[in-house]
Every structure is written in C-alpha cells, then in structure tokens.
Structure 1
Amino acid sequence: MKLTNIKLGAITLRVSDLNTMQAFYKEIIGMDVLDTRDGYVTLGTEMTPLVILHEVKDARPNRQAAGLFHFAILLPDRIELGRVLHHLISRHIEVGQGDHLVSEAFYLSDPEGNGIELYADRPRDQWSYEPNGHVKMSTDPVDYQSMLEAAADRPFTGLPSGTTMGHVHFKVRSLETARSFYADRLGFTVTTDSYPGALFLAADGYHHHVGTNVWARPSMPMGEEAGIEAWTLLVDAATNEALGGTTSEWSLTDSDGITVNIKSVD
C-alpha cells in the first residue's frame, strides 16, 4: 500500500521535570498550553497540538538506545522562521543550522536533550530531483541574515497559526529494518537514500515525513526511559482500514521500540 493523504500530529515525550519542560516550550519555542491533565501537558498553537509532555519522575535518557533524533516543527513560511530566529537570538539560545535545498532549518535541544528542528519549506517548484526520482537534499549554510531582515518588523509573539508537525527523525539500529517498517508496513515512499547512514521517507510527494539514521549506532531498542513515548500519524478512514486498523485510534511499535499512534480523522 502506498500511503497518501496523511498528516503528522503531536509527539509525546516522556519527561522527568514537567514544570521546566513546560516553561521551555512556552517561553522559548512559543507554544500555548492547550490542555493539562493527570501528569500530561499538551502544547501547540490554537487548536493544533504539537507536543504532549508526560511526566515520569524517574525517567532518564539512555544514550545507547534507539529513539528520537529530533522532531521538526514546520513554520508557514520563511518570514515566520525568521521571527522565531530573532526570538531565539534574543534569548541567547544557541542553534545549529542547515539549508537542505528543500527547506531552511535551525536546530536546538530542550532541557532534557530532545532534539528540535524549526524549519520552513521552499516552494515545491524549487525542489530538484535525482534521476531515480529521489528529492535532492543537502546540508549547507542558511542565509539567515536575509531571513532576519525580512522578519525585522515582525516581533515574535509565539508560534503562528498554520504551524504543524512537519516530520520526525529517529535513531535506529538498522536502515534495512527501518525501511521494512516505514515503507513496507506503513506505506511511506523512500524519498532519498543518498545520505550516508540515513534513510528518508514520505507520503504525498513531500521531501520527508520520517527520517531515520544509524549515526549514533544505538545498541538496544528504547524502553521506558525519557524521550519519545509516541508520535502520531493522522489518516483518513480508508487508509486506516488499509493499514489494518479496526478502531479509529490504535498503535504500532517498530523493532526499535518506537511507537506510532495512528488516528483516523474523518
């Protein structure tokens, strides 16, 4: 089955210090609190949840385990990304950067070490493709100065309406096993495998909804440690049924212990 007509929903993170993490996502990333209940805090923009924090007091990271490399928040356009960058600079937050040809991105980590990408896409008619149909991506310096200039008269007031979860990227033990799960089981299409040690997959002609890499060489699947608890795949009813869903919400876990919550949104 070829996966189509999908979106990504919120990512759930298992955290040990809920107050510190909530403050970070509000004050640094610019999210609003949408819901609080029983050790969970949902943050996002207006009615769009992006991150769910689940407090587990004794949770600690395990650097030898597979799991989250980063999750990626997609801004509506380059100017909005520039507004975020202005804000991060004003808060003295160090960021990494990458012009990926299809997008421009900045990288940081939250207080418990979860990787975050903030990015904006270039228009699809500016993307280039390899002879085999794979999208061309690279990691070049971002022209951040022109981005800051374009956003200079637009003070940051939080993540704007239209911000979504753009993609998720995982540390895995095997690219072959990742391909089997994300392509063969879930139906994502491989969009590029030219990066050494990485594999990118997507639906609907996107550059990638899922990234996987073996760069950290994890030696075990993830368990109950701090980090990703689940990510969310939003599908229509027909796709849900084709994937094997018998209810509107259900889950699958890959061999690295990474869980996807599949939700029908018809």
Structure 2
Amino acid sequence: MTTAATLPQTLEIGRVQLRASNLDRSLAFYQNVVGLKVLRQSGREVEMTADGQHVLLVLREINSARVLRRNSAAGLYHFAILVPDRPSLGLVLRNLIDSGIHIGQGDHLVSEALYIQDPDNNGIELYRDRPRDTWKHEANGNVVMTTDPVDVDGLLAASEGLSWTGLPAGTVIGHVHFHVGDLGEAKKFYVDTLGFEQTAHYGDAAMFISAGGYHHHMGLNIWAGQGAPAAPADAAGIDYFTLLLPSILERDAVAERVRTAGYRVDEAGGVVTITDPWNIGIKLLVKL
C-alpha cells in the first residue's frame, strides 16, 4: 500500500514516559549512570532533562510494578538518547565504564551507539549521529545500516581531557524502538496510517521508519515473538512517547487519519493521544 499522507519533515520525538517499579532506584540510575538531571517532581513522578529546560524523560512509579523478563512482551525495546557530537559520546562511555554497568555497543554506519539496561530492564541507547551527507542509501532509497564494532579507543580519545558533567545541552530523544506482535500490523498503523516512511529493514524480523529522511525515528521488531502480547499495564515499561509536529493543522490531520482507520484517539486538555495496537501511547504535540 502506498502511504496516502506522510508526516512532516520537521517531525521530532519529544519525551518518553516510563513506569518505574522503584522511583528512588530509577532516579539514582538516570542521574548517576545516564547523566540526566531532575527538572521537577510531583509526588512519585519525576521529569528529567539534559539542558534544564526541555523534558526528555518522565518516570512514574506504580505500586508493586512487575519487572518483565527482557524480550517477553510487546512494548519498549529501547529508547534512544542522541548526544550532539562524538566527544559527548566519549564522555558518556567513560561514565558508563566508571559505573561498572554492562555496556553493549554497535557502529551502525550512520551512528555510533552504546546500549544499557535500566533497573526495570528497559533498554536505553546512547548514540551520536554521523553527518547526514555521509549516510549511504540503497537503490530503493533505504538507508544502509549495519552493526559493526564501535571504535571504543577512538571514542575515548575524542573525549580525552574533558570532564563529565552529565548529558550536555543539545541532547534529545533521537528515536524509540519497540517489540510488536506483528510487523504487518505495525506497518499498517505506523506507515500506512500515521505517515512514517520505511527507511530500512532487517530481514523479516525488524523494520525502521522515519520522517524527513532521518535514518529512523522508530524501530519495530518481532524479537519477542510473532503474536507477542502487549505488556501488562501493571508492569514497568513505557506509558507513551511524544511526537512534535509543526502546527495544530498537522496534529489534527494525523489524529483524523488514525481515527478514520479505526484506532483509538483520546483528546483531553488540548492534548491528543493515540494508542497503537499494543497499547503504547503516542501524544501528538505542537512544537512551540
């Protein structure tokens, strides 16, 4: 099916909200290991930031939350924090090494990435992009990505003599990546209805989609198994993420496409929330 409408090229991911089983433990992790700062706290909910202004992560504690086994349900695979440059990623690596946490890594040609897990088994990617004019494309337009070893020595050298003070200003949520129960249904929702465009695929098990030619704003995979059920509402994991759109007109157009296709759309207090087939919330916001 050809996409009837596409998302605007200026689309951005805004923030991610997670359910936490132990807020104090998660808060310490995201401050000390990841490098975010507390912007404000209300009860057992905390907004976190890199620059002291923009919220990147919200942690919401739920009582007696279950912590799921990794790759056991549809839901969050990882959310990805994009730092502005290579020295910044080098400093991230130094801090992760000092923390003693297990670190995964991958050079994806378009980016260099480090992977960790939070105390609730939520995946986190911390990465930097290579300049867009160096990205290679296949004949069909898809972005060429792979997973090679990261030049760890080069990252450490790029940050030599610099001091870690947490994630720098200019850090954003670069993309989100989900386990889904069916790639065909995911494509129907995210590509054919929302208006993302496919940018790459990994065999029959994963696809990558974006707006505006980015390598990917979203990854979608069936690594939790074909037909994987949605994560329970009382389990640690993702509540929602936000899409930042350039105008109310664009926001309403997306909401109408979703509503017409028969998916759930809620509006409250001027905020439009849509829900994907695996109960992942997406708040449509207008970038100010």
Q: Which of 215, 238, 245 is the matching residue for 1:228?
A: 238
| Distance in 1 between residues matched to 2:117 and 2:68, nearest whole Å | 16
In the superposition, the TM-score normalised over structure 2's length comes to 0.89
> Does the Cα contact within 8 Å between 2:21 and 2:67 map onto a contact in 1?
no
Partner amino acid for 1:212? L
Q: Secondary structure at the match of 2:255?
A: coil
1:14 matched residue in structure 2 = 19
Matched, 1:83 2:91: yes
1:150 matched residue in structure 2 = 158
2:209 matched residue in structure 1 = 201
**Deviation sequence 1:180-207 (CA, Å, 0-9, x none):** 1111121111101244400100011100
1:125 matched residue in structure 2 = 133
| Distance in 2 between residues matched to 1:108 and 1:196, nearest whole Å | 25
Q: Which of 4, 7, 17 is the matching residue for 1:3?
A: 7
1:183 matched residue in structure 2 = 191
Q: Which of 120, 123, 127 is the matching residue for 1:115?
A: 123
Q: Which moved more, 1:90-99 or 1:169-178?
A: 90-99
Q: Secondary structure at the match of 1:125?
A: helix
Matched, 1:23 2:25: no
Classify 1:181/1:132 alpha carbon distance in 2 versus 1 (closer, same or farther; 3 Å): same
> Does the Cα contact within 8 Å between 1:223 and 1:257 map onto a contact in 2?
no
Q: Secondary structure at the match of 2:27?
A: helix
2:275 matched residue in structure 1 = 253
Q: CA deviation at 1:38?
A: 2.7
Matched, 1:166 2:188: no
1:47 matched residue in structure 2 = 53
Matched, 1:243 2:254: yes
In the superposition, the TM-score normalised over structure 1's length comes to 0.96
Classify 1:127/1:248 alpha carbon distance in 2 versus 1 (closer, same or farther; 3 Å): farther
C-alpha RMSD of matched pairs (Å):
1.4
Matched, 1:67 2:100: no
Q: Secondary structure at the match of 1:9?
A: strand
Matched, 1:103 2:107: no
Partner amino acid for 1:158? G
> Does the Cα contact within 8 Å between 1:248 and 1:264 map onto a contact in 2?
no
Q: Secondary structure at the match of 1:94?
A: coil
| Distance in 2 between residues matched to 1:263 and 1:38, nearest whole Å | 24
Partner amino acid for 2:32? E
> Does the Cα contact within 8 Å between 1:222 and 1:258 map onto a contact in 2?
no
> Does the Cα contact within 8 Å between 2:73 and 2:224 map onto a contact in 1?
no
Partner amino acid for 2:84? P
Percent of aligned pairs with the same residue? 44
